[in-house]
Amino acid sequence: MPLLARSVLTPLHIDVRRGAVADLGTILADGRISTGGDVAVVVGPGQGEKVVDLVRPSLRSADVFTVCGGTLDAADDLGAKLRARSYDAVVGIGGGKTIDVAKYAATRRGLPMVSVATSLANDGIASPVASLITDGIKGSYGVHIPIAVIVDVDFVEAGPERRNRAGIGDVVSNISALADWELAREVRGEPFDGLAASLSRAGAEAVLNHPGDMGDDAFVTVLAEALISSGLAMAIEGTSRPSSGGCHEIMHAIDALYPGTASHGELAGLGALFCTFLRGDQRRFTEMSACLARHGLPRLPADVGLTDEQFVEAVQFAPATRPDRYTILEHLAMSPTETRERLADYADALHDHVG
C-alpha cells in the first residue's frame, strides 16, 4: 500500500455521545472547517438521511448528495459533482461505505472532511484509508483523515447489531497486526513507531477486556474511541501497519476469492485469531477467542460459510494481497498441506477451549 496522507494527524473535534449530531451545525461553524456554511453533505441510504433531516435547519447552505455501493466509480462521480461549486468542507454521514466515498472524493478535491458515523463496523470512520470497490474487487486508497469525527450513540444503537459488532473484530485484530509489525522489525529491520503502536494497542486492549456489550453505552463508547484511535495510529505512521497484518491479508483474500462472505470486521477478527494461533501466543489466543465468542463473532471458517478447503485457499492467497507486507504468513510460508494441518490444530484448540 502507498504511504497515506499525513498532513492532518489529529482531528480538530472528536465527539462520541448520545445526541452528538444535534451539535453538527455548531461544529461546522468552526472557522477552521467552514467559514460560510457552504458544505457538501454526503449520505447513503438509511440512517444518514435521518441525520440530515434532524440537522437540516443548521445546514441551510448545504448541498446534499446521496451515494451508494461504496465503489470507486461512486467516489469519482461525487468528486465531479463537488467541482460544480466552491465548498468549504465535505460531511460524510452514514456507515463505512458512505464515509469512504466521501473521504476519497474530499481528498481528491483538497477539501476537509467531517465524518458522522452511524455505525461502528470498522475503523474507517477516522482512518486515512478508503476501501472502495472497482471491477468487483475491493481496494485500499490513501486519503486524508477526517478533520472532525462525530459518533452519536443513539444512531449507532438504532442500527443493525451485527454490523456494529463487526467493529469489535476489527479493533481486536490490531493485537495481531501489531505482533506482525514487531515481527517485521525483528526479521527485516522494519521501522516501528511506538506512538502509533501505543494508540492502536490501547484501543484494542480496552475492547478486549471490557465486560460490556453493544447494549451498554460505556462499551459502545469504548468501541467508538478504539476505532478512532486505530485510524489516528495509521495517520501517525503514514501506513496501515498499526492496524493491518496477516489478519487483513486473509480478510482481503476472502473478499477477492469469495466476495460477500462476511463483513470486514468479522473477517479481520477471524483472521487475527488464526494468525495468533500460528504465532503460538497462547495467552493472546485465549483472550481473543473469549472476546470474539462473547460477542458472537466468527472464529471458524464455517462461521462465515466457508469450507476448510476454501479457507486454506484464502490463506495461501493472502500474502499476494499485500506484497510489501511481512507478517506471520510470510514468515511461515506454509504449503497448502501445512496450512490444512495447522487449521485442523486450530479447530481442535478452539474445541478444547471454552470460549
Residue 250 contacts residue 177 (beta carbons within 8 Å): no
Q: Does position 322 have pLDDT exceeding 50, yes or no? A: yes
Check whether 5 has a pLDDT greater than 70. Answer: no
Least reliable range by pLDDT among 130-144, 168-182, 296-310? 130-144
Contacts of 324 (CB under 8 A, 6+ apart): 1
Chain segment 98-132, per-residue pLDDT in tens: 999 999 999 999 999 999 998 999 999 999 999 99
Confidence check: pLDDT of 8 > 80: no
Q: Provide mean pLDDT across the span 54-67.
A: 82
What DSSP string describes 25-68?
HHHHTSTTT-SS--EEEEE-TTHHHHHHHHHGGG-TT-EEEE--
**Confidence at residue 2, expressed as pLDDT on a 0 to 100 scale:** 41
Q: Tell me the average pLDDT across 295-317.
A: 98
> Is pLDDT of 13 > 70?
yes
Compute the mean pLDDT over every residue in the chain, rounded to the nearest whole number: 91
pLDDT over 70 at 355, yes or no: no
Query: Which percentage of the chain shows pLDDT scores above 70?
Result: 96
As a whole number of angstroms, the distance between CA 50 and CA 213 comes to 25
Residue from 224, 205, 226 nearest 216 by CA? 224
Task: Tell me if the pTM is above 0.95.
Answer: no
pLDDT of residue 354: 55
The pLDDT of residue 10 is 65
Nearest to 236 by CA among 5, 64, 45: 5
61-98 confidence digits (pLDDT tens): 789 999 988 999 999 999 999 998 999 999 999 888 99
At 143-187, the pLDDT tens digits run 999 999 999 999 898 888 899 999 999 999 999 999 999 999 999
* Angle at 285 (CA atoms; ends 280, 290), nearest 5 degrees: 165
Report, as an integer, the average pLDDT of 312-322.
Answer: 97
Which has the higher per-residue pLDDT, 128 or 6? 128
Q: Spell 118-136 as b/e; 16+ CB within 10 A means b.
A: bbbbbbbbbbbbbbbbeee
How do beta strands 89-94 and 39-43 pair?
parallel
Taking residues 303-308, report their average pLDDT: 98
